[in-house]
Structure 1
Amino acid sequence: MSQENRVRVAVLFGGRSDEHSISCATAAGVLAAIDRDRYEVVPVGITRTGEWVGVADEPERWQITDGQVPEVTGSDTPRLMLPMGEAGQDLVAYQPGAVPAQLGAVDVVLPLLHGPFGEDGTLQGMLELAGLPYVGSGVLASAVSMDKHYMKMVLAGAGLPIGPYTVITDRQWRTDRAAALERVADLGWPVFVKPCRAGSSIGITKVDAQADLAAAIETARAHDPKVIVEAAIEGREVECAVLEGRHDAPARSTLPGEIVVTSSDHGFYDYRAKYFDADGVTLAWPAELPEAATARVRELAVATFEALSCEGLARVDFFYTPTGEVVVNELNTMPGFTPFSMYPMMWERSGLPYTDLITELVELARERPTGLR
C-alpha cells in the first residue's frame, strides 16, 4: 500500500481511570508493532483530567520502565477535539487565542483505554455520535462488561455458570452497613472485595475474616462507590482469548492458558503481579486440562462473548475447580494488550503474531458499521 493510501488510525490512550498508566503501556506495545506500511498512526493521549492532546509517536516514551509509570500530560500541547455528526471525522487542534486547525480525517479509532471513561461505553458512545468506526465492543457490551454486577446478571440470565457474590451500592453502605456486612458473611470466608467497575486488579483485597472486611470495602470504594464481593472459588485460574469472526463467521477462541503465580509475595494475581513482577507470574499455555475441560472453556468463552454482545476482542477468565467444574469469572473487553500480556500471547502462540492481531482488529472495526447493528 502506498504511503498516500494508508488507512489513518487514531491510537487513543491514557484516560481518566486508575488504569491510566497501564493504558499508556498498552499503547507503547501497539505503537511499536502496528504495520506502518498499511496504517498512518495518529497518537492521541487523554490526560488524567480528560483532555485530548497530541502526543509523541515514541513507543519507548509510554513504557513502564524500572517501576516508573508513564503519564499523558497536557502542558504546552494543543488540545484535540472530534466534531460530532457524520461529517465530523476530522480531528481539530485548538489552543486559547489561536484559530483551530484541522488535522485531517481519521478512518478508524483504536481505543487502548482500560477502566471507566474509556472501556465502559462512554467513549464508545461518543465515537458512535461522531460516526467513527472503532476497535472493540459497542456501547452496551462495554458498559455491561465493565460493571461486574450487571455482567454477572446477564451471564446468569443466559444460563452460564458464575460464582456466588453480593453487591454493596454506595447508598447501601451509607444507610445500612450492618446488613451489607451480613450479606458478605453469608458467602463464607475467604472473599474477594473489588471495585465493581475497575480492572487490572486495582483496589482488590482478599479477606479471610470479618474483622478485615470493612477496611477492604473502603479500599475498594476509593476506586468505585459500588463494590462487589465474590466468594472465593477453589480452583485454577484459566483464561481464553476470543476474537470476533470475519464476514459473519463465528467468534474464534484460543486454547486456554493458565495464570501461575510463582512468587510468594503475591497472595493472588494482583496489580503488582500483573505489571511489576514479570518473574513472579507465568502463563502456562496451553493449560494442562482434560480434553473435555479444554473444550468446555472454549465453548463458554465464546458463549460469554456472545451473551454480552461483544465485538472485536475479549478475554474471558475462568476457574477450573477440583471437581472439574468450569466457572466464568469475568470478561474483559479491552484486556491488557502489551506484547507480553496474556491476550496477545495466547494468540501469538496460536499462530497469530502481535502485528497481525492488531491488523485483524483494525480491519474488523473498518468492516463494522456505526449506529444500530
Structure 2
Amino acid sequence: MRSRAMTTDQSAPRKPRVAIVFGGRSSEHAVSCATAAGVMQAIDRDAYDIVPIGISRDGHWVLTDGNPAPLELTATQTPEVAADGAGVVVPLSTTDRSLTVLEAGEVPRSLGEVDVVFPLLHGPFGEDGTIQGMLELADIRYVGSGVLASAAGMDKHYMKVVFASAGIPVGPYAVITDAQWQRDKAAAMDAVGALSFPVFVKPARAGSSMGISKVSSPEALEAAIEVARQHDRKVIVEQGIVGREIECAVLQGRGTDEPRTSQVGEIVVEAGGGHEFYDFEAKYLDEQGVVLSCPAQVPDRVSAEVRRLAGAAFDALGCEGLARVDCFYTETGDVLVNEINTMPGFTPHSMYPQMWAATGLAYPELIDELLQLALTRPVGLR
C-alpha cells in the first residue's frame, strides 16, 4: 500500500488534508451536492482529513459541517449550499496553501494548509477549467483534468472538433451560437437542415441532461433551442443515432502508463418507464424504468473498440485523473464517440463508480486512487 503520510515543517507525519469542494453556480448544483455526499460517506477518514467547502449558487465559498445527509438528492430533497455560512478564502499565492475563514464580527482564522482539492463540481464555473485555473495559480494540487482539457471537455462543440482532428469518429452535428440566433433565427435553424430528424438539442456547455430535448420534427426545433438557451446561449444540435449508448470509465495511468479503462456499461431506459431518453429524472430521481448493465451485453470486439476509443478520447484532450466516455454502438456495427465527461457523476450509484466496481475497484478505493494520482503529479506546466 502506498504511503499517504505527509510531513510538516518539523517532519512530523500527518494525514493528507483534502478540501472537498461542491455545489457551485451551475444548474448542476444539486447533483454536485449529491456527489459530495457520496464521497464524504465513503472516503477513508483514517487516511485523510477532509475540509468540506460548499459554493453557493451565487458563488460564496462557505465552510460546512461535513454531514452528508442534507446533501443527498432525492425525490423529496433538493440539496443546496446556503450562502450564510462562514466564508472561505482560497490563497492565490504559490507560497501559501492555507485556507482562511471569515465570519462576521470575528478575527479571520486559518484552517491550515490543504494538500489536495477534490473539486466535485459539475457544469460551468467548476468542471469547465475555471476552478482548475484558480488552483493552478496557487500551485494547489487537485483531482481531475487541467484547464484546457476541462474547458474543451465541457464544450460539446470543441470537444467534437478535437476528437475529429484526432481521427476519433463522431456523429453529425450543428452548432448555433448566440450571435447567429440573435441575428437570424431562421438562418440559424437552416444549419440543422443537413441533419435528419429526430435530433437532440442541447446546451453546448451543460451536463446532467439539463435543457436537453429530443426533437422529432422541424416545427418543434425553435422551442427546443429556446429551452437549451436557458442553460447556455450556445446550442449544439446532434443527429439522433439509431443504436445503443455504451459507456466506459477511464482512469489516468500511473507515471507514463496509458489510460486505464473499465468494463463497458450500458444504461437501458425501459419502454413504459416514463422516460423517452436518459433525462435528469431518470438519472437521479426515478429508480423505475432504468436498468444499469455492466458489463454491457455486446460482442467482445465492440467492448474492445469502446475501450480503445475511450482511452484515445482521454489522450486527445490531454485529460488527467478521470473521465467517462459515452459511445454509440450503431445498428450497422460502428462505434462513435458521443462525448466525454471530465467530472462525471460520482455518487455511489453513478455509472462511473459502478463500472469501476464491476472492473474490481470499489468506490472507496476509487476515491483513494484519484487522490493519490493528484497528490503525486507535479504542479504547474506538465
Q: 1:250 aligns with which of 258, 280, 283?
A: 258
Structure 1, unmatched stretches of 5+, are: none
1:302 corresponds to which letter in structure 2? G
In 1: Cα distance, 2:211 partner to 2:69 partner? 28
Is 2:208 the counterpart of 1:200?
yes
The answer to whether the aligner puts 1:145 opposite 2:153 as a matched pair is yes
**Deviation of 1:157 (Å):** 0.5
Question: Does structure 2 conserve the Cα–Cα contact (< 8 Å) formed by 1:135 and 1:361?
Answer: yes
Alpha-carbon distance, 1:285 to partner: 1.1
Counterpart CA distance in 1 for 2:367 and 2:356 is 11
What is aligned with 2:239? 231
1:31 equivalent in alignment to 2:40: yes
For the pair 1:271 / 2:280, whether they are aligned, the reply is yes
Code of the aligned partner of 1:155: F
CA RMSD of superposed structures (Å): 1.3
Measured against aligned partners, the alpha-carbon deviations of 1:45-78 in whole angstroms (never above 9, x if no partner) come to 0000011000121111211134311000022x21
Please point out which of 310, 314, 318 is paired with 1:305. Answer: 314
Instruction: Give how far 1:364 is off.
Output: 0.1
Q: Which residue of 1 aligns with 2:89?
A: 81
Q: What is aligned with 2:196? A: 188
Judge conservation of contact 1:262–1:281 (CA < 8 Å) in 2.
Answer: yes
8 Å contact from structure 1 (residues 167, 228) kept in 2 = yes
How far the C-alpha of 1:224 sits from its partner, in A, is 0.3
Q: CA deviation at 1:247?
A: 2.0
Instruction: Say whether the 8 Å CA contact 2:270–2:291 is kept in structure 1.
Output: yes
CA contact (8 A) 1:2 1:37 kept: no
- Does 2:111 match 1:103? yes
What amino acid sits opposite 2:327 in the alignment? F
2:9 — aligned with what?
A: none
Distance 1:186 1:33, change over 3 A: same
Aligned length: 372
Distance 1:152 1:236 in 2: 19
Distance apart, 1:289 and its partner CA: 1.2
Q: Residue 131 of structure 2 aligns to which amino acid in structure 1?
A: L
Residues 92-101 or 320-329, more deviating: 92-101
Runs of 4+ in 1 over 2 A off after TM superposition: 1-4, 95-99
Tell me the residue number matched to 1:326: 335
> What are the superposed Cα offsets for residues 158-196 of structure 1, whole Å, 9 maximum, x if unpaired?
010000000000000000211111111320101000000
Aligned to 1:127, the other structure's residue is in SS state helix
Partner in structure 1 of residue 299 of structure 2: 290
Q: What's the TM-score once normalised by structure 1's chain length?
A: 0.98
In structure 2, the residue matched to 1:125 is 133
Q: Contact 2:136/2:379 (CA < 8 Å) preserved in 1?
A: yes
Secondary structure of the corresponding residue to residue 279 of structure 1:
coil
Matched, 1:364 2:364: no
Change (3 A) 1:185 1:296: same
Partner SS state of residue 368, structure 2: helix
Specify which of 54, 58, 62 is matched with residue 49 of structure 1. Answer: 58
SS of residue in 1 equivalent to 2:142? coil
Q: Determine if the alignment matches structure 1 residue 179 to structure 2 residue 196.
A: no
**Aligned partners of 1:320 and 1:93: how far apart in 2?**
50
Pairing 1:114–2:122 present: yes
Say whether the 8 Å CA contact 1:185–1:210 is kept in structure 2: no
Q: Encode CA deviations 1:304-357: one digit per residue, 9 max, x unaligned.
A: 000000000000000000111000000000000000000000001111010000
Once the 2 structures are TM-superposed, how far is the Cα of residue 96 of structure 1 from its aligned partner? 4.2
* Conserved? CA contact 1:119–1:334, under 8 Å: yes
Q: Where does structure 2 lack aligned partners over 5 or more consecutive residues? A: 7-12
Which letter does structure 1 place at the counterpart of 2:348? P
**Counterpart residue identity of residue 278, structure 2:** Y
Work out whether residues 25 and 63 of structure 1, in 8 Å CA contact, stay in contact via their aligned partners in 2.
Answer: yes
In 2, Cα distance between equivalents of 1:305 and 1:65: 32
1:157 maps to 165
By how many angstroms is 1:86 displaced? 1.2
